[in-house]
Structure 1
Amino acid sequence: MFQLTPTVKALLIMNLVIFIMTNFIFPEAMQQFALYGFQSDKFRGYQLFTHMFLHAGWGHIFSNMFSLFIFGPMLEYRWGGNRFLVFYLVCGLGASLLYQGIRTYEIMDMKKDVAVYTENPSPLAFSQFLDEHLGGRYNPEAVAQYKREADNPAMVQATIESVKSVYNDLVQNGKMVGASGAVFALLMAFGMLFPNTELMLLFFPFPIKAKYFVLFYGAYELYAGLARNPGDNVAHFAHLGGMLFAYILLKFWERHDRKNFY
Structure 2
Amino acid sequence: MQSPFANMPPVVKNLLIINIIFFIATYALAQVIDLRLYLAAYYPLSPMFKPWQIITYMFMHGGFTHILFNMFALVSFGPMLEATLGSKRFFNYYFITGIGAYVLYMIVQAIQIHAIAGAFTIPHPELEASYFNYGSQENAQALYGFFNAPMLGASGAIFGILVGFAMLYPNLEMMIMFIPVPIKAKYVVIGYIAIELFSGIGRFSGDSVAHFAHLGGALFGFILLKIWRVQKPNNFYE
TM-score, normalised to structure 2, is: 0.82
Shift of residue 160, structure 1, vs aligned partner: 6.4
What corresponds to 2:29 in structure 1? 25
In the alignment, is residue 230 of structure 1 matched against residue 205 of structure 2? yes
What corresponds to 1:3 in structure 2? 7
In the alignment, is residue 214 of structure 1 matched against residue 189 of structure 2? yes
The structure with more radius of gyration: 1
Gaps of 5+ in 2: 1-5, 119-131, 231-238
Aligned sequence identity (%): 43
Find the aligned partners of 2:15 and 2:185 in 1 and give their Cα distance. Answer: 23
What corresponds to 2:3 in structure 1? none
In the alignment, is residue 45 of structure 1 matched against residue 51 of structure 2? yes
SS at match of 1:233: coil
Q: Is the 8 A contact 1:23 1:30 kept in 2?
A: no
Write 1 or 2 for the structure with the bigger share of helix. 1
Find the aligned partners of 1:167 and 1:239 in 2 and give their Cα distance. Answer: 21
Q: Deviations over 1:94-132 (max 9, x none)?
A: 1100000011111222336xxxxxxxxxxxxxxxxxxxx
SS at match of 1:176: coil
Find the aligned partners of 1:198 and 1:164 in 2 and give their Cα distance. Answer: 45
Find the aligned partners of 2:77 and 2:179 in 1 and give their Cα distance. Answer: 17
Gaps of 5+ in 1: 113-156, 256-262
Shift of residue 38, structure 1, vs aligned partner: 1.6
Give me the CA root mean square deviation: 2.2
In the alignment, is residue 56 of structure 1 matched against residue 73 of structure 2? no
Aligned length: 210
Shift of residue 165, structure 1, vs aligned partner: 4.4
- Decide which of 172, 179, 188 is 2:163's aligned counterpart: 188
Shift of residue 167, structure 1, vs aligned partner: 4.6
Shift of residue 164, structure 1, vs aligned partner: 6.5
TM-score, normalised to structure 1, is: 0.75
Find the aligned partners of 2:134 and 2:159 in 1 and give their Cα distance. Answer: 40
What corresponds to 1:252 in structure 2? 227
Q: Is the 8 A contact 1:185 1:245 kept in 2?
A: yes
